[in-house]
Structure 1
Amino acid sequence: MAAGLSTIGFDADDTLWQNEQFFRFTEQEFAKILEDHGDPDAISARLLEAERRNLGHYGFGVKGFTLSMIETAIEVTDGQAPASVIGRILEIGRSLMNHPMETLPGAAETLEALAGDYRIVLITKGDLFHQEKKLAQSGLGDFFDAIEIVSDKKPHTYRTLFDRHGNGPERAMMVGNSLKSDVLPALEAGSWGVHVPHPLTWALEHADAPSENQRFREIETLAELPELVDLIAQA
């Protein structure tokens, strides 16, 4: 067991399974629906601003994204978006809720390698129904000692969860693709933070790497995590 490490938290979307690529495809479809009202880049920029405004109201996930698409459609059409456009947006939103499950390489093997020695906790944000559905389809559920679907990820979130499911944040590690949500707040809580970059990361999750923090690590793939944990144990 690594240097007193007792608990390892894992993000879900774009850490254990693909997610952002489906949002990007849906965004492209949305821009096509509104192609008479602006070029795709302008439509996407308006949508991103709507998402930013609405996070505090709707939270993360497909439902908030769909509502932001509807709001953007109303804005760019000056309130003249026909029912057929709203109906099409609802249709692509439902399709996004039903996208196929695709686990990332090394996810199952990494969880299996670590599950015997550590408490493994899934810590993900988003829509409760959708995240539960994706977890069930992934086939990874049996590896986790606990599942936590949260509204947001802040330092107090990690302190609370690592107290609940382990021996406090100082003896915990958080692994994920988002520096902003998975790494920085976990480090601030006193945990290890391991960044596993994904080629597609939502613009609102971007942040600078905390390279000066002694508990920050970055790996290219999840398959490298067991070796990293072993190296920390030997330090």
Structure 2
Amino acid sequence: MEVDFSGIKVIGFDADDTLWVNETYFRETEEQFAELLENYETKNKIDQELFKVEMDNLNLYGYGIKGFVLSMIESALDLSNNTISQTTISQILDLGKKMIAHPVELLDGVEEVLEELKDKYRLIVLTKGDLLDQERKLEKSGLSEYFHHVEVLSDKKEHNYKNLLDHLDIHVKEFLMVGNSLRSDVLPILNIGAKAVHVPFHTTWAHEMVSQDEQVNDHLKLNSLRDILKYLNK
């Protein structure tokens, strides 16, 4: 599609599954969680119950590993009718700690893109999740030097973006958001009048999926983050 990024001055990057791998580790942990509970229910039922509990708890815990671990424990109690052993609870906690301690794996082309753009645009990170965990991942990533500002949002809806852009004195017409989620990184950005680039990740959390009716075409979709340089270096 034809795009015009000539007026862009600030570029916001999502973090998880845009700058580095994230969702893959959640899926792997769900597999291990299902194995721990295989004596109580089928894998399909365990997956469904965990997702339901996660959705019920989003308003309480928000996004991130810590809320995910609490939801796993609650699901284990529900599925076992409160008979789950202390040993299994400890194993679930260990799964969460392993996720938090996991090395940060940058996605292909990330550092090359940031290096190319850092002197031409104001670069910021706009992500959601647990503040401590996201700060830890950014530090481990070695990418901090590229960004003027880092914001960990409780959610990514229109008002979250608008309030932040107002706070940072960024005009909506001068802002471009880059991310892997249509629901969080593209649709709300288009709705407030800014521009967005969608770089899909091979694994998407069910909560971030959008229906066919919700999908739009007035944004740029790329196969790789590196491809954005073709449009920003014109």
TM superposition shift of 1:164 = 3.4
Please tell me whether the aligned partners of residues 126 and 150 of structure 2 are also in contact (alpha carbons under 8 angstroms): yes
Counterpart-to-counterpart distance in 2, 1:126 and 1:88 = 23
Gaps of 5+ in 1: none
User: How many residue pairs get matched?
Assistant: 229
Q: Secondary structure at the match of 2:12?
A: strand
Counterpart-to-counterpart distance in 1, 2:116 and 2:150 = 19
Gaps of 5+ in 2: none
Equivalent in the alignment of 2:196:
193
Please tell me whether the aligned partners of residues 138 and 144 of structure 2 are also in contact (alpha carbons under 8 angstroms): yes
Equivalent in the alignment of 1:118:
121
Please tell me whether the aligned partners of residues 180 and 198 of structure 2 are also in contact (alpha carbons under 8 angstroms): yes
Please tell me whether the aligned partners of residues 104 and 140 of structure 2 are also in contact (alpha carbons under 8 angstroms): yes
Counterpart-to-counterpart distance in 2, 1:158 and 1:146 = 14
| Aligned: 1:211 with 2:204 | no
- Between 1:102-111 and 1:163-172, the stretch displaced more is 163-172
- With the length of structure 2 as denominator, give the TM-score of the two structures: 0.94
AA matched with 1:117: K
**Cα shift readout 1:69-116 (whole Å, capped 9, x = no counterpart):** 001001101121121111111111111111111000000111111111
Please tell me whether the aligned partners of residues 5 and 231 of structure 2 are also in contact (alpha carbons under 8 angstroms): no
AA matched with 2:42: D
Aligned partner of 2:25 among 22, 27, 34: 22
Runs of 4+ in 1 over 6 A off after TM superposition: none
Equivalent in the alignment of 2:100:
97
AA matched with 2:162: R
Counterpart-to-counterpart distance in 2, 1:63 and 1:191 = 32
Equivalent in the alignment of 2:61:
58
Paired-residue identity, %: 42
